Amino acid sequence: MPEQYDCIVIGSGPGGYVAAIRAAQLGMKTAVVEKDKVGGRCLNYACIPAKAVLRVADILSEIDDADEFGIEVSGREVDFSKVSARREKVVKTLTGGVSGLFKKNKIDVIEGEGSLAEGGGVKVGDDVYQASKAIILATGSVPKPVPGTQFGGRVIGTEEAWALPELPKKIAVLGAGASGSEIASAYGRLGTEVLLFEMLDRVLPTEDADISKVAGRTLAKQNIKISLGVPVENVQSHDDKVTFSYGDKTDEADYLIIAAGRGPDVEALGLDKAGVKLTDRGLIEVDGALRTSVEKVYAIGDLVPGPALAHKASDEGVIAVEDANGMKTHPIEYIDIPRATFCTPNVASFGLTEAQAREQGIDVVVGKVQYGAVGAGTVYGDRGGVIKIIGDKKYGELVGGHIVGAKATELIQELVNAKALEGGYAEVARIIHGHPTLSEGVMEAARAADGWLIHG
Ligand X SMILES: Cc1cc2nc3c(=O)[nH]c(=O)nc-3n(C[C@H](O)[C@H](O)[C@H](O)COP(=O)(O)OP(=O)(O)OC[C@H]3O[C@@H](n4cnc5c(N)ncnc54)[C@H](O)[C@@H]3O)c2cc1C
Give me the DSSP letters along 126-159. Answer: TEEEEEEEEEEE---EEE-PPTT---BTTEEEHH
For residue 451, count CB atoms less than 10 angstroms from its CB and return exposed for 0-12, middle for 13-18, buried for 19 or more: exposed
Min separation Cβ 74 and ligand X, Å:
34
Using CA atoms, how far apart are residues 308 and 311, in angstroms rounded to an integer?
9
DSSP states of 169-202 as a string? SEEEEE--SHHHHHHHHHHHHHT-EEEEEESSSS
CA-only gyration radius of the chain, Å = 23
Cβ-based nearer residue to ligand X, 332 or 453:
332
Residues 438 and 423: their CA atoms lie apart, in Å, by 20
77 is in an annotated binding site: no
Measure the CA–CA gap between 213 and 203, rounded to whole angstroms.
8
Active site residue: 238, 402, 435, 455, which one? 435
Amino acid at 189: R
User: Which residue from 36, 28, 29 is spatially nearest to 12, judged by alpha carbons?
Assistant: 36
Q: How far is the CB of 31 from ligand X (least distance, A)?
A: 11
- C-alpha distance from residue 344 to each of 16, 109, 178, 181, 189 (Å): 30, 38, 11, 9, 9
Could you write out the three-class secondary structure of 28-97? CCEEEEECCCCCHHHHHCCHHHHHHHHHHHHHHHHHHCHHHHCCCCCCCCCCHHHHHHHHHHHHHHHHHH
Query: By C-beta, is 33 or 376 nearer to ligand X?
Result: 33
Q: Is 317 annotated as a binding residue?
A: no
Active site residue 435: yes
User: CB of residue 440 vs ligand X: minimum separation in angstroms?
Assistant: 26
Q: Which of 139, 166, 145 is nearest to 157 (CA)?
A: 145
Q: How far is the CB of 69 from ligand X (least distance, A)?
A: 28
Q: Is 341 annotated as a binding residue?
A: no
Query: In the complex with ligand X, which residue's Cβ is closer, 35 or 55?
Result: 35
CB-CB contact of 171 with 154 (8 Å): no
Q: Which is nearer to ligand X, 224 or 376 (CB)?
A: 224
Residue 20 assigned as binding residue: no
CB of 433: closest distance to ligand X in angstroms? 26
Minimal distance in Å, beta carbon 237 to ligand X? 20
Closer CB to ligand X, 42 or 373, in the complex:
42
Degrees, nearest 5: CA angle 433-436-438:
75
* Amino acid code (one letter) for 421: L
The whole-angstrom separation of Cα 1 and Cα 15 is 28
Would you tell me which residues interact with ligand X (CB under 6 A)? 10-16, 33-36, 40-42, 46-47, 50, 113-114, 138-141, 158-159, 179, 265, 268-269, 301-302, 308-311, 313
> 388 by DSSP, 3-state: which?
strand
Q: How far is the CB of 343 from ligand X (least distance, A)?
A: 11
Which residues have a Cβ under 8 Å from the Cβ of 320 and sit 6 or more positions away? 19, 134, 136, 289, 290, 291, 298, 300
d(CA 150, CA 392): 45
> Which amino acid, residue 186?
A
* Residue placing its CB nearer to ligand X in the complex, 211 or 340: 340
When the beta carbons of 13 and 401 are compared against ligand X, the nearer one is 13
Q: Which of the residues are catalytic?
A: 435
Which residues line the annotated binding site for NAD(+)?
175-182, 198, 261
Which residues line the annotated binding site?
51, 114, 139-141, 175-182, 198, 261, 302
Which residues line the annotated binding site for FAD?
51, 114, 139-141, 302
